[in-house]
Each structure stands twice: as C-alpha cells, then as structure tokens.
A = this chain, B = another copy of it.
Amino acid sequence: MADVWYPTHMEIRRADMIADELEELVFAGEFQDGDRLDEVKLAAQFGVSRTPLREAFQRLIASGMAEQIPRRGVFVRQPGPVELMEMFETMAEIEGVCGRLAALRISDQAIDVLLEANKRCQQAIDHNDMDDYYRENEYFHHFIYKQSGNSFLEQEALRLHRRLKPFRRHQLRVRGRMAQSMAEHVAIVSALQAGDSEAATEALRGHVAIQGEKFHLLISSLKTSKG
C-alpha cells in the first residue's frame, strides 16, 4: 500500500492535452469571436483523429469559451466588452467574499505568509520587475482564496481568475499601477489582521474592480479608434 504508484495526473489523454492547447490558443486570441473550430483542420494540425478533438471541444464548451450549434459546429466565443466588464465585476465581488470569510477565519500564521508575500511584491517593485510582481501578486490572491476556508469557493475563484488572466496581463504596465496595487495589498492585509470583514471585503473588491475600470478605459479608447 505504501509504494502504490498513484495515478499521477500526468495527462496521458491526448484529448486533455489538446483541450489545454486549444484553451491557450483561445486565450491568446488566435481565434476571433465566432470562428468555427474546424475538426478536420485541427485534427491534421494536432496530428490526431477527430475523436480526441471532439472530446476536447466539450471542455471548451463547458467553460463557456466555445458554443456548439448542433449539426453546424463549434464556434469560439470571445467575451465582448460588456461581458468582460461583467466578469471583472464578478471577480471583484467574489474576491470580496473571499476576503470577508478570510477575515473571519485567517490564522496569525497565515497573516505572516501574506506579509512575506507582500515583502516580495515590494522587492519586485524595487527591482521594477513586472513579471516577478505579477507572479507574487497572483500568489497573494490565491493564498487569500485559500484563507476563505472554503475550498469550493476557492476553486470557483481560481477558475474565474484563470479565465480573466489574459485580460489582466498587461494591466500592470499602466503607469504607477504597481505601487498603487502594493498599497492596496497592505490595506488588505491590515483588514485581515484586524479581523475586519467589512474592510477586507471592500479593500479586495476595490483592488480587483479597479482592473475592470482600467479595462473599461481601454475598451473606450479602442472603440473610438475603431468606429
């Protein structure tokens, strides 16, 4: 019983690997909204038959990244400006909830972890290392999800966070955003430390919502430049 080789989740199924790759492609914007996912073309591209592809499609469909119209095909669905704003708002609210529960449940030990994470964030800022800051920032947020003490909620938060990743990627380039973000982190930890669930909620909600608003500006500028 000790040396059982537990079924490592190393993906043996090509269908799963393809699903991952397709998700990446959709995230990377390789497809336009409404593009049909051509089974035979993609099968050739991946060097497999249609079968694993069709299984992979189901995953994209379930996660809302594609839509299936019977007998017509599978079409990618890129979120439009409105849906994106809604997703950011939802993320902000969910992070607020995580903060609320975390404030009620977090341990002193976990607070220390967050303080450490923030130190590393500050170092990233000092070195002006955006990638590093991005990574540490992500760790900070994921850790708070976990401190909600509700692993179902944690998973939901992670899922949405991941889905928004491609749209958050270049946010930090906004001038001064890193420093402001850092200040917000400090406020968040303070609220958690004080066990102030209201303050934690609002701090996290605001911290995330601002991304949606920056995004809103970006959208507006795009719209004016396009139309």
- Residues of chain A touching chain B, judged by Cβ–Cβ distance below 8 Å, are 7, 9-13, 16, 51, 54-55, 58-59, 61-63, 68-72, 83, 86-87, 89-90, 93-94, 96-97, 100-101, 150-153, 156
Contact = CB atoms under 8 A, between A and B. Distances in A.
Nearest to A55: B58
A214 B1 CA distance: 39
A94 B16 CA distance: 31
B153 A69 contact: no
Contacts of A151: 83, 86
A168 to B, nearest CB: 16
Contacts of A97: 93-94, 96-97
5 contacts: A55-B58, A62-B62, A86-B150, A89-B153, A94-B94
Closest 4 A/B residue pairs (Cβ):
A62-B62, A58-B58, A86-B152, A12-B70
A134 to B, nearest CB: 24
A89 to B, nearest CB: 6
A150 B90 contact: yes
Contacts of A11: 70
Given A7-B69, A7-B72, A83 B152 contact: yes
Nearest to A160: B156
Contacts of A62: 58-59, 62-63
A100 B72 CA distance: 40
Contacts of A71: 7, 12
B7 A70 contact: yes
B58 A150 contact: no
